[in-house]
Chain A
Amino acid sequence: MDNFEKIESYLMDELSKEDRVKFEQELKLDLQLQSDLEDHLLARDLIEIDIATNLKAKLQGLDQPKNTKVRKFNFKVWTIAASLLICISSAWIYLDKNYSNEALFDKNFLIIENQVRGSQPSSPEEKLNLLIKDLENGQVNSVGAFQKFIDENEDVDNEQKASWYLALAYLKENNIGKTKEVLQNIISEKNNPFSNKASILLNDLNNVWRNVIN
């Protein structure tokens, strides 16, 4: 058994009583063994210092609040977030400009207004033009006025035109269900000159992006 093993067995208390006595007698006379033992004890002291250092770090860790992690400013994440925000805002503005009830009303009302201006004056037509002007100016109860005009009017052209404006009046009041209902009636009528426009407007109203902004 070399010194290393002997010393380890001695320190670990693994020697028999006789061997222990023998080792201690040897120790008194052997300077090298004394020096080796001293080195072993030093090694243990050093390991103890390491243990104390690690325990200190562990205890300090226990003092740290568990839920207050300091987050580092992550430039990349913030850049992505900002870009996303810009994209979403732009998309929102675009959708609102093109698919909101107000935008669809303006888009469709202006086109027909030109046609109205070109019509020949006659009593029911003049009345209809006045109702259209009222609708443009935001007069209240345009829906009721157009509905009444349709009910009382016997001329098919005026009735078709009035139905189109009734749909727009519902749209202006944000009553989408009724708007769609009137548009579907227009589309279903054969030879209705507003049928194409009604289809386009109905498609716009059914556009999935409208769900995002409404």
Chain B
Amino acid sequence: MIETEIISAIRAGGRIRDQALEQIYTNAKVKNRAKAILVKYNCFDTDFNDIYQDAIILLDKNVRNGQFESRGSLEAYLMSTCKLLWYNELRRKKKFVDEEILKNLENTVTNEVDQTQYDEDLLKLLDLTLKKLDERCRKVLEMWKLSYSMSEIMETLGITSLGMTRKLKFTCLNKLTDLIKCSGIKPIKKRHGQF
């Protein structure tokens, strides 16, 4: 897949998204380039893998939510995301980091919002709500959010009709919003778009 096809595949969702993400992640050339950049800022093996995975997750989310603007190449986007994520990570570990390295990195990162760190309330809410749903409900909601077609969801979960699949998605989402209401937790979170 070429770059534009990868982006279209992620936007399209479903199984083709999985293939596209796997293709980016397993591209040794891109990964090694990212590694070569982050090594300069003291980011080594385990940390690098973590950062690179988070960069792919962020790319996936931003492409799906329409927040990815292809001003440059996908690779360039990944590199700047990696730097941003590592910069944030270094700031969290401030006492272990050379100030000069931090400053150098700060000059290279963009102003993009790092959405890989979640508010504690949101994580607590996750435990009280989504994690309380059964596996089938979680799967149907995940697939729906990833733009899997209703027939793909039906096939994957072994549901007998499209109508039943739609009903299951509706019921599960309803359950989830009810659990959110009952939890009484309202995390404050920066949002893009909508308001």
User: Number of contacts between A and B (CB, 8 Å)?
Assistant: 78
Indicate whether A36 reaches chain B with its CB closer than 8 angstroms. Answer: yes
| A59:B130 contact, CB within 8 angstroms | no
Indicate whether A212 reaches chain B with its CB closer than 8 angstroms. Answer: no
Interface residues of A: mostly helix, strand, loop or mixed? helix
B129: nearest residue on chain A (CB-CB)?
A46
Please indicate the chain A residues that have their CB under 8 angstroms from the CB of B56 in the complex: 55, 59
7 closest A-B pairs by beta carbon, nearest first, are A59-B53, A46-B130, A47-B145, A39-B180, A43-B176, A39-B177, A52-B57
Which of A43, A45, A47, A54 contacts B189 (CB under 8 A)? Answer: A45
A residues apposed to B, CB below 8 Å: 4, 8, 36, 38-52, 54-56, 58-60, 62-63
Please indicate the chain A residues that have their CB under 8 angstroms from the CB of B191 in the complex: 41
Separation of A59 and B57 alpha carbons in the complex (Å): 9
Separation of A56 and B180 alpha carbons in the complex (Å): 25
Indicate whether B96 reaches chain A with its CB closer than 8 angstroms. Answer: no
Indicate whether B26 reaches chain A with its CB closer than 8 angstroms. Answer: yes
B181: nearest residue on chain A (CB-CB)?
A39
Separation of A40 and B180 alpha carbons in the complex (Å): 9
| A47:B142 contact, CB within 8 angstroms | yes
A54: nearest residue on chain B (CB-CB)?
B142
Q: Mark B166-195, 1 if CB is under 8 A from A, else 0.
A: 000000011011001100001101010010
Interface residues of B: mostly helix, strand, loop or mixed? helix
Interface size class on chain B is 35 or more
Indicate whether B157 reaches chain A with its CB closer than 8 angstroms. Answer: no
Separation of A56 and B56 alpha carbons in the complex (Å): 9
Sample of 20 more A-B contacts, CB < 8 Å, known A40-B177, A49-B123, A50-B130: A39-B177, A41-B194, A42-B122, A42-B125, A42-B186, A43-B177, A45-B189, A46-B126, A47-B130, A49-B118, A49-B126, A50-B138, A52-B57, A54-B142, A55-B21, A58-B21, A59-B25, A60-B49, A60-B53, A63-B49
Chain B nearest Cβ from A138, distance in angstroms: 69
- Given A8-B173, A62-B26, is A43 in contact with B61 using a C-beta cutoff of 8 Å? no
Q: Mark B10-22, 1 if CB is under 8 A from A, else 0.
A: 0000000010011
Please indicate the chain A residues that have their CB under 8 angstroms from the CB of B70 in the complex: none
Sample 27 A-B pairs with CB under 8 A, ordered by A number: A4-B177, A8-B173, A38-B186, A40-B177, A42-B122, A42-B125, A42-B180, A42-B187, A43-B129, A43-B177, A46-B125, A46-B126, A46-B176, A47-B176, A48-B145, A49-B122, A49-B126, A50-B138, A50-B141, A50-B142, A51-B61, A54-B142, A55-B21, A56-B57, A58-B22, A59-B53, A62-B25
Please indicate the chain A residues that have their CB under 8 angstroms from the CB of B123 in the complex: 49
